[in-house]
Amino acid sequence: MGADVHKDEDRGDSGVPDPEYLSLERELTFLLRRARANQGEMAREVHPDLESAAYGLLVRLDEYGRQRATELAAYIGVGKATMSRQLRALEDLGLISREPDPADGRAWLVDLTDEGRRRVAHVREARRARYVSQLSHWDRREVAELARLLHQLNGVMEK
């Protein structure tokens, strides 16, 4: 019954979905499709052999520093085997290093290498510069509001 209640909330009095929710769905679909394509481009800028999905791991390590492989797997939403394969590939490319966790010898700590950190920083700075260029006609308060709303949306979507 709970799903039916929520299903009716996005419909107007006529039973037709509200245009606001249709517009939101359309714009998010477009944004996510573009984001996937951009992630692949950014991954190739870090290293030509880097898989698109691995770029998010590098950004996470860049932002939060050294982490356990299990924490990374939980963040990305993949299993241990998939994470192990991705980490092995990143290590082979010289972008990350792994070492045993001194607090738990069964666990591994993963961190960016100096080269990995340099490459990720270069790509992220280029991406930020593109945002500045593309949104230069926006008021900074609008940019801040967009960031705030996206943060709020991401928080709701995590639940």
Round to whole Å and give the CA distance between 136 and 35.
Answer: 20
Per-residue pLDDT for 9 more than 80? no
> With contact defined as beta carbons under 8 Å apart, do 91 and 57 qualify?
no
The pLDDT confidence band at residue 107, using thresholds 50, 70 and 90, is confident
> With contact defined as beta carbons under 8 Å apart, do 54 and 25 qualify?
no
Q: pTM score, two decimals? A: 0.78
Secondary structure letter of residue 159 according to DSSP: -
| Percent of the chain with pLDDT strictly greater than 90 | 72
Give the HSE-up count for residue 135: Cα atoms under 13 Å, Cβ half-sphere: 15
The rounded mean pLDDT for the chain is: 89
pLDDT digits (tens, 9 = 90+) for 111-154: 999 999 999 999 999 999 999 999 999 999 999 999 999 999 98
The pLDDT confidence band at residue 1, using thresholds 50, 70 and 90, is very low
pLDDT digits (tens, 9 = 90+) for 77-87: 899 899 999 99
Task: Identify which of 75, 65, 59, 60 has the alpha carbon closest to the alpha carbon of residue 120.
Answer: 59
